[in-house]
Amino acid sequence: MTYRFPDWEVTQQPALGNHLDRIAHELAGEGLALRVGRGLIGAAADGPPFYRAGIVARVRRAGATRSQAEAFAWLLRGGAGQRSALARLAVGEPPDAVFADPVVRRWIRTASGRDLRFFGGPGRLGHRRAAGVEWLRAA
């Protein structure tokens, strides 16, 4: 028995899955080309290890900047105190609620290359450390 190959060329890319596709479309909404976003997500998911440092290394090898790679790791893996966007989508949280979260929006902006000051938490611009200057107030 032989298998017949189709006479046409398949031009459609394989689907990443509903949740990863949704993340790719959010990245495209922030200006990252859909093909590039899917490629970087594919690189991030390309085999173990799935800890954050492994994801960052794979995404950097695929051509992303360090801040973009960190953002992809946060979007797909999360951290100790923060669940990833992928995990939140997987447990059934509505996509509108996930992507309306300001922290997730910042990850999306950074992963798309628009916010290079990524730290994973709320912005701290304008907040200076006061360590070591409390003696000035006492004088």
Residue 121, domain member (yes or no): no
Query: Cα–Cα distance between 88 and 107 in angstroms, integer?
Result: 14
Residue 126, domain member (yes or no): no
Residue 73, domain member (yes or no): yes
Closest CA to 108 of 32, 46, 27, 40: 27
Residue 93's alpha-carbon distances to 81, 87, 96, in angstroms, are: 17, 9, 9
Q: How many domains does the chain have?
A: 1
Give the list of residues 6+ apart from residue 134 with CB closer than 8 angstroms, or none: none
Give me the residue label for tokens 């059934």. Answer: 92
Residue 136, domain member (yes or no): no
- Cβ contact 111:68 at 8 Å: yes
Flag whether the pTM goes above 0.75.
no
Per-residue pLDDT in tens (0 to 9) along the chain, 139 residues: 565 655 655 555 555 688 999 999 999 999 999 999 999 999 998 878 788 899 999 999 999 999 999 999 999 998 878 899 999 999 999 999 999 999 999 999 999 988 656 544 444 444 444 444 444 455 4
Residue 9, domain member (yes or no): no
Full domain range(s) for residue 90 = 18-111
